[in-house]
Structure 1
Amino acid sequence: MAFYSIGDVAERCDINPVTLRAWQRRYGLLKPQRSEGGHRQFDEEDIQRIEEIKRWIQSGVPVGKVKALLEKTKVQTYDDWTSRQEEMMSVLRFAHPAKLRAKIVALSREHAASELIDFVFVPVRQRLSLDHNTARIMCSLLDGALIEHVALTLSETRKKAGKDALLIGWDIDDRTRLWLEAWRLSQQGWHIAVLAEPLDGPRPELFPGQQLFVWTGLTPTRRQQELLQHWHEQGYSLTFHQP
């Protein structure tokens, strides 16, 4: 079994070592092993847990509440969702778009969109992002299939009763995740249109009278919250989308 130092893990997971220490000491989120010299040693399971912690925090969950969610998820759904993730990885290894599309459709018939996003598609994309070689191609294939599936789903949803809304990405890089969040909103009774290119700022004046959802990918910054309040005072209808 391979072990990694806290510096290696920090670089691999794009997170500050100070944050990792706080997650361990203050919040009890991590339990790395120790070397004979007393240095922290992380394995692949620790790295997957770190990525899961990041996902919860990026979804807007306060770090103090993450441990309870991790334990609940582990007890209730770990085996089932892990098997679904492995099924998706197996299909991706064939690099066959038609089979991949069929698998996504089959999963969508069995599970709610929010569950698939949180427990299958986001974790699988995170796993693929850790590899800089073939997995990047697999991730790109998956992203294309997911966006195609979501676009078709949004179109079907518009045939049912609902309210129109526009989803805007604000200071984000992950366009696929933006489409996944559009899918999540569409299952809540919204007819969602997606502004496919993320913006540095939402510019609500360009969309007068429309309901706007804004996705930041992380907990909104103080500046973003201040701007949202300012736009509300001007009469614009904007809402931070936080799953």
Structure 2
Amino acid sequence: MNDQATRPADTPLYPIREVSRLTGVNSVTLRAWERRYGLIKPQRTPKGHRLYAREDIERVERILQWLNRGVPVSQVRELLDQPETAETPTPAAGDWPGQRRLLISAVQALDLSRLEELFNQSLALYPVPTCLAELWQPVVRQLEESWGEQLGDVLQRRTLETFLRTRIGTRLLHANPLARGPTLLVMPLPDDPAPLWVLLTALAASDCGYRVHLFDAPLPCSELPLAVERFQARAMLLASGKAEKAELVRRQLPRLAEQLEVPLMACGPMARIREADLEGTRVELLGDDLGEAMENLQARLPVR
């Protein structure tokens, strides 16, 4: 248990910003875990600032392990508080299927207040990689498979696009000045009717510590070397939920990769669909899944 009274007086203590850096869990989520669920109990300074011991940090890491196994945050405390010698139970199915249904319903109903609530709740209670893997990626995939030529499909797509552009753009605005990683240019490809994958990619890259310059509309290929130079970018990351035209994939992108002085990378469904077409070129495919893509990105361009 997290019992302050049992800690030695000389136990090192860490402010919330350092705990966030060490664990990858943002400070908003750490506070929510404390206030709403009692998962952690940091000490307080006379002015009320939180201070965390090493045991608190280890507890946060155990919380992440349970969340990544699909346990709802509301059920984690009873698992953490079991004796260490007790057999670890198989976690119950998480609440993600229900959250996905709620999110899809909110998009289909154009319910912006519900969409806002679900967005804020997911990112307050769970780390960004978990939210993307369990909620946002599956929902975007399902919606894109269902959208066609029916009345209202374009309206749903544009509503979700506008919502995510505003919310993720705000997060980038606050995160970029604090980012310790290299600068990335993140942008869509021409055939994607709405930059949903680009927006999710930007969120994932920012969470990894990169400084992200997001373009939510494609630039002409002739302008991209200038953009790299002016923004002092260390890589260009393209994302698309569509296959994209053969001419672009087979000729223009490989030619662009030869011209750029930084890596040209791609992720999202296009990276899976066009893998064979780009094999042997200098275009680096990071993967379809954003979690895998971020791992490959960090291996190629580490965040110092």
TM bracket (short chain): 0.5 to 0.7
Corresponding residue number in structure 1 for 2:160: 142
Residues 219-230 of structure 1: pairs in structure 2 closer than 5 A: 221=249, 223=251, 226-227=254-255, 229-230=257-258
| Structure 2 runs not aligned, ≥5 long | 1-68, 71-89, 267-285, 287-292, 294-304
Cα RMSD, aligned residues only:
3.5
1:212 aligns with one of 232, 235, 256: 235
Count residues in correspondence.
168
The separation in 2 between residues aligned to 1:224 and 1:81, in whole angstroms, is 40
Corresponding residue number in structure 2 for 1:18: none
Distance 1:137 1:222, change over 3 A: closer
Q: Select the structure with the greater relative contact order (CA < 8 A; seq sep ≥ 6).
A: 1
Does the aligned pair in 1 maintain the 2:140–2:196 contact within 8 Å? Answer: no
The separation in 1 between residues aligned to 2:161 and 2:222, in whole angstroms, is 24
Does the aligned pair in 2 maintain the 1:95–1:141 contact within 8 Å? Answer: yes
Which deviates more from structure 2 when the two are superposed, residues 152-161 or residues 217-226?
A: 217-226
Which entry has the higher C-alpha Rg, 1 or 2? 2
The separation in 2 between residues aligned to 1:201 and 1:77, in whole angstroms, is 49
User: What is the identity, as a one-letter code, of the residue corresponding to 1:212?
Assistant: A
Corresponding residue number in structure 2 for 1:67: none
Instruction: For residue 119 of structure 1, report the CA deviation from its aligned partner.
Output: 3.2
| Structure 1 runs not aligned, ≥5 long | 1-71
Q: TM-score, normalised by structure 2?
A: 0.46
Corresponding residue number in structure 2 for 1:120: 135
The separation in 2 between residues aligned to 1:188 and 1:108, in whole angstroms, is 15
Q: Is 1:85 matched with 2:85? A: no
The separation in 2 between residues aligned to 1:195 and 1:92, in whole angstroms, is 23
Q: Is 1:109 matched with 2:124? A: yes
Q: Is 1:231 matched with 2:254? A: no
Does the aligned pair in 2 maintain the 1:168–1:194 contact within 8 Å? Answer: yes
What is the CA deviation profile of residues 76-124 of structure 1, one whole-angstrom value per residue up to 9, with x for unaligned ones?
A: 9975432220121343455332332122011112223333334322332
Distance 1:135 1:110, change over 3 A: farther
Q: TM-score, normalised by structure 1?
A: 0.56
Distance 1:76 1:143, change over 3 A: farther
The separation in 2 between residues aligned to 1:204 and 1:93, in whole angstroms, is 36
Does the aligned pair in 2 maintain the 1:165–1:193 contact within 8 Å? Answer: yes
Could you tell me the percent identity over the aligned residues? 14
